[in-house]
Structure 1
Amino acid sequence: MDRVNKKQSSSIKKFKTKDFVKFVTKMNPKKRVFMIGMFFTLLTSGAALIVPQLTKNLVDGSRLTQMNMSLLFTLILAFVAQLGFGALGSYLLRFSGEHTVKSLREQLWDHLLTLPVKYYDDHKSGETSSRLVNDTTVINELMTSHFPNFISGGIQLIGSMIILFIMDWKMAGLMFLAVPVIGLIMVPIGRMMSKIGRQLQTATAAFNADASEKLSEIRLIKSSNGEQYEKQSGRNLIMNVFKLGIKDAKIEAVLQPIMMTAMIGLFVVVLGYGAVRVQDGSLTSGQFVAFLLYLFNIMMPVGSFATFFSQLQKAMGATERVVQLMNMPSEAIDKGMTKDVSGETIMFNNVSFQYEEDRPILKNVSFEAKENTVVAFVGPSGGGKSTIFSLLERFYHPSNGEIKIGNTNINDVQLHSWRSQIGFVSQDSAVFAGTIRENLQYGLDRNLSDDELWNGLSLAYAASFVKDFPEQLDTEIGERGVKLSGGQKQRIAIARAFLRDPQILMLDEATASLDSQSEEQVQRALNQLMEGRTTLVIAHRLSTIVDADNIYFVEKGMITGSGTHQELIATHALYRDYVKEQIVS
């Protein structure tokens, strides 16, 4: 973990503003909209720069008893133009920013769906969702709010400075005395805010990850009386976020008053110096008023610049983490050939696999599953049975050896094509929050008719209980199917497998957690589902495997025996013990 953190810290230091800009430009921003927005912003800033000049002429050209109406009308027109162009420019720049962040989120979401299972083994889902939601929100705030203000403020500042030097270089030069002072303040504080901003985002992601994990297992927490422990654990993470937030707030609390004090001090100095110039006649009243208005045009953006650079540092930290995530290698979903695997034999040839170095899970495993046969895997827990299924699903790749379908290595088959021909039913069949209809046709290339859905439910012996629900197919089943019983979820999963019409069927402890009545119904559904398909079964219960065409005994990552039920009883001592335990239980 320390090595990972050091590596991330190193990469963060290398991530600079130009990298951030380069990354944002890759997100397909609406360049034309952005340029039009910039044009209107330029017009707004132009109107803001004209107002002081019109005011100068109005003050110098008007008398106490008579107002120059044409100048007054022009001034009002300039204000209206500033308001209208400002609103339009701000909207277009914000639209461009929102579109850029939308593209970022779409690309990131698409990328997350293509990351291999190993990535999710190593990272908490809450941490990943924090990158998708929280980090992109930070970038969104910069792009849609702070950046447009920075652009318009920057134009006003530069334009005002140029006009001030043209008007009176002495007074303008006086203002520049504040620049090195502001620079000395901004540089070290900016670095501190950058560091704390990244720490705060990391702490927030950690809290989000922990909260997501714990809330998803709320039943375990309650059944284990774990509320008090989790309360303290959560508070520790919250306190960490709070402390970093307070540090960030302290810096901002110091930065803003310093900036305002520097600006007010500068204003007082310019005001005093200008008053002296007006008295000695070297500066007109109108020029002095215009100078003060331009000074406001400078002071207001400078005040917001501190916030912009603070947000920029946070956005760069967020972007750096998003870039790291985007650079994670994806699964090659569309690479390879499409192949109909019906009638083909599955073969494992000396397959070895390990999740971590020096901890082998499978060692030189070889077996075959011929078409329209049932192959069962039995043995002690932790022996590697589920890993065989994970390799078949291509969640992982063998360290050594190869897996073939017929004469073709499964890695040469297009991943989407391969997985579309596999039906998988596990002990804890996954279902999503949503309706029964949505879960039944999840992952299919087309929407199924009600008749097709009911047929699938009938084959899985699930139609009767679905019809008992008032909403039937449109019944909401809750998060992870909490409104269904274990047997009902299993039969929904089996119906989903029927509707996929797979060539290869994999059953992982599909009846292990069910009561005897549910098991009988589910087993009938499974027997019907297995007809005409190549079926691989992991099971502890004897009733599931006695009729298998071939049984492989898996222990400590190796196949130590194979044959029919009767052959293994005669030749494999551990299998005999396994069968005796099943009979006794």
Structure 2
Amino acid sequence: MNKQTVVSFIKLIRETKPSVARMLIAVTLSVVATIVGLLIPMLTKSFVDGFDIQNIKTWMIVGLVIVFVLQSIANGVSIYLLNYIGQQLVARLRERLWKKHLSLRVPFYDDNKSGELISRITNDTSIVKNLITDHLVDFFTGIISIIGAVAILIYLDWQMTLVMLVTVPLAIGVIVPLARKMYKISKSLQDETASFTSLVSQVLSEIRLVKASNAESREQENGFGAIRTLFQYGLKEARIQAIVIPLMSFIMMGMLVIVLGYGGYRVSNGTLTAGDLVAFILYLFQIVVPLSRFTNFFTQLQKAVGAMERVQFILDEEEEEYDGGVSFEGFNQPIVIDDVSFGYGNESDVLRDLSFTIPNQSTTALVGPSGSGKTTFFALMEQFYSPTSGGIRHGEQAIQEYDLAEWRKRIGYVSQESPILSGTIRENIVYGVERDVTEEELRQVAVMSYADQFIEQLPNGYDTEVGERGMKLSGGQRQRIGIARALIRDPELLLLDEATSSLDSKAEQVVQQALNNLMKGRTTIVIAHRLSTVVNADQLIFLDQGAITGKGTHEELYRTHATYRQFADQQLHVKELENRALFD
């Protein structure tokens, strides 16, 4: 752990703006309690040396009781304030992390597992809290206690003090290298804990896939492997503790034997009083107990610094810039795709040299085989990613220059599998809508998306809980809620990615009609494998392996594009058979 790491750690803590006043009060009270504790052995010495039942005064007993009570109160208030500061610090740190996570660019989530990110917000921040609430003040008051105790012992008998402290350098020589090793182990343990959290999160979120694939034994072995790894790191920590804890006990017993043996000898020859010996024993505990806590403090400090390194890694990531762009007044000009190429990370381009124009208030359909980059193009339109070359413009303005929040606010997006959040149907439909939605509006979009019939059949209607990721709903029901969510935003640009893919033929006809009505007067981009839903589009863009191989109307492509013609003949023939089956 180098100096720069410690400086970064302190800087990060300061950025959370902990209450300086509460910290000062807590530290002051702890220091007062420690100083009072240093006086107790001296009072005990006086009692022992001058013990006589007739000499004991009431005020002496009352005074001793008051000292103990005040010390207890000071400790109690200090502990509460420290816990308050620690909880406040971790809350602010989590708020900062949560805000950061919501502001990070989508590529960050492509490269990092969600379970590990969850561990950063929960586990790593808790480690920092534990350092502050359980160890930080103990460290500083321990220093005061040791310095004060040693100073008083030297005053009482410097020769006996030197003899008693002879084992301390030995302990420091052993503990320091062990603390360094503990840092490496703790850091690896935290990484493995994050990986295990990621595994658990992934498996439990996809438990239906696990069971349907008979993959329980495989995931069980993966989980057992991660648990065994954590177990091994836990054993490594235990080995170090198995050295440190007995060593501290050995030092304490060694000091106690020295004090009792050498002190008893000096009491017998009259150079030391019995009260002095008792005081030495009490001060011995005030030296050894803080020393043992130092070991825990440095171990916890190493863990906290390691945790903050990972937290800082997230805080240093590039954010999306929501504000400060050119004000976006709405889609009133054509969208120009100018020689756009894009690839994920270092992979080869998914899209290559796309160039076409989407006229305002028109419908453009992207067609072609799976894996040709159609959904990726939507991600570029939503500005989840930026093109690796070329650009997308609204009129003459690059879309990256617009205010991002205003840009996305005017887009309605329905994906192949509409994501559903845990909560009610109502909450899912109005998700992200900033204005108040009336009951009439809610029912209207439900009718238009063909969702009203199944919603009204549910016991609680729009207030029905859908379960995690909408698991209580069928795929078609989730899709229709996704369409209703897009409808209620009243968007100016519609992005429909297989919006009817999960519907049966009858429902598809109704929803397609609703979408046709919605698309009037709006700019619409449609992805469809079913050509029957887009044959009337103003233009079709045929994508194959990330490149445009044809564009025009359905009739134009059917005449001039052999692959499209084959594609269309097959699709429309299947559609005809479906219609016959429907009416037979």
Q: Which runs of 5+ in 1 are unaligned?
A: 1-11
Q: Is the 8 A contact 2:259 2:277 kept in 1?
A: no
Change over 3 Å in CA distance of 1:15–1:128 after alignment to 2:
farther
Residue identity in the other structure for 1:538: I
Matched, 1:154 2:143: yes
Q: Is the 8 A contact 1:481 1:489 kept in 2?
A: yes
SS at match of 1:355: coil
Which residue among 262, 271, 278 is the counterpart of 2:260? 271
Matched, 1:560 2:549: yes
Note the C-alpha offset of 1:472: 1.9
Q: Is the 8 A contact 2:479 2:502 kept in 1?
A: no
RMSD: 1.7
Deviations 1:383-407 (A, max 9, x none): 1111111111111111111111122
SS at match of 2:422: coil
Deviations 1:184-210 (A, max 9, x none): 111111111111111111111111112
Change over 3 Å in CA distance of 1:149–1:438 after alignment to 2:
farther
Change over 3 Å in CA distance of 1:448–1:168 after alignment to 2:
farther
Which residue among 135, 158, 163 is the counterpart of 1:169? 158
Q: Which residue of 2 aligns with 1:119?
A: 108
Matched, 1:406 2:395: yes
Q: Which residue of 2 aligns with 1:539?
A: 528
Using the size of structure 1 for normalisation, the TM-score is: 0.95
Note the C-alpha offset of 1:358: 5.8
Matched, 1:72 2:61: yes
Q: Is the 8 A contact 2:186 2:302 kept in 1?
A: yes
Q: Is the 8 A contact 1:459 1:528 kept in 2?
A: no
Matched, 1:292 2:275: no
Q: Distance in 2 between matches of 1:179 and 1:17?
A: 26
SS at match of 1:143: helix
Q: Distance in 2 between matches of 1:15 and 1:521?
A: 64
Q: Which residue of 2 aligns with 1:9?
A: none
Residue identity in the other structure for 1:28: K
Which residue among 345, 353, 356 is the counterpart of 2:342? 353
Change over 3 Å in CA distance of 1:175–1:18 after alignment to 2:
farther
Note the C-alpha offset of 1:525: 3.0
SS at match of 1:368: strand
Q: Is the 8 A contact 2:255 2:284 kept in 1?
A: no
Q: Is the 8 A contact 2:483 2:499 kept in 1?
A: no
Note the C-alpha offset of 1:172: 2.3
Q: Is the 8 A contact 1:361 1:556 kept in 2?
A: yes
Note the C-alpha offset of 1:15: 5.6
Deviations 1:250-301 (A, max 9, x none): 2112211111111111121122222222222222222222222121111212
Note the C-alpha offset of 1:306: 1.3
Q: Is the 8 A contact 2:418 2:478 kept in 1?
A: yes
The count of corresponding residues between Structure 1 and Structure 2 is 574
Residue identity in the other structure for 1:98: Q
Percent of aligned positions that are identical: 44
Residue identity in the other structure for 1:518: A
Change over 3 Å in CA distance of 1:463–1:151 after alignment to 2:
farther
Q: Distance in 2 between matches of 1:248 and 1:447?
A: 55
Residue identity in the other structure for 1:390: A
Q: Is the 8 A contact 2:165 2:255 kept in 1?
A: no
Note the C-alpha offset of 1:578: 0.8
Matched, 1:388 2:377: yes
Q: How does 1:222-261 map to 2 (within 5 A)?
A: 222-261=211-250
SS at match of 2:341: strand
Q: How does 1:141-540 map to 2 (within 5 A)?
A: 141-357=130-346, 359-540=348-529
Q: Distance in 1 between matches of 2:141 and 2:507?
A: 68
Residue identity in the other structure for 1:569: Y
Deviations 1:26-85 (A, max 9, x none): 211111111111111112112211211222222223315542332222111110011000
Change over 3 Å in CA distance of 1:151–1:436 after alignment to 2:
farther
Q: Is the 8 A contact 1:434 1:478 kept in 2?
A: yes
Q: Is the 8 A contact 2:540 2:551 kept in 1?
A: yes
Q: Distance in 2 between matches of 1:100 and 1:358?
A: 41
Q: Which residue of 2 aligns with 1:23?
A: 12
Deviations 1:6-31 (A, max 9, x none): xxxxxx76763333222211211111
Which residue among 567, 571, 584 is the counterpart of 1:582? 571
Note the C-alpha offset of 1:521: 3.5
Q: Which residue of 2 aligns with 1:93?
A: 82
Q: Is the 8 A contact 1:347 1:406 kept in 2?
A: yes
SS at match of 1:364: strand
Q: Distance in 1 between matches of 2:559 and 2:572?
A: 17
Moved more, 279-288 or 185-194: 279-288
Q: Distance in 1 between matches of 2:409 and 2:290?
A: 57
Change over 3 Å in CA distance of 1:94–1:159 after alignment to 2:
farther
Q: Distance in 2 between matches of 1:146 and 1:18?
A: 19
Residue identity in the other structure for 2:60: L
Residue identity in the other structure for 1:486: G
Change over 3 Å in CA distance of 1:55–1:366 after alignment to 2:
same
SS at match of 1:363: strand
Q: Which residue of 2 aligns with 1:8?
A: none
SS at match of 2:349: strand
Moved more, 353-362 or 412-421: 353-362
Q: Which runs of 5+ in 2 are unaligned?
A: 575-584
Using the size of structure 2 for normalisation, the TM-score is: 0.95
Residue identity in the other structure for 1:396: Y
SS at match of 1:16: helix
Deviations 1:136-170 (A, max 9, x none): 12222212222233333333223222222233222
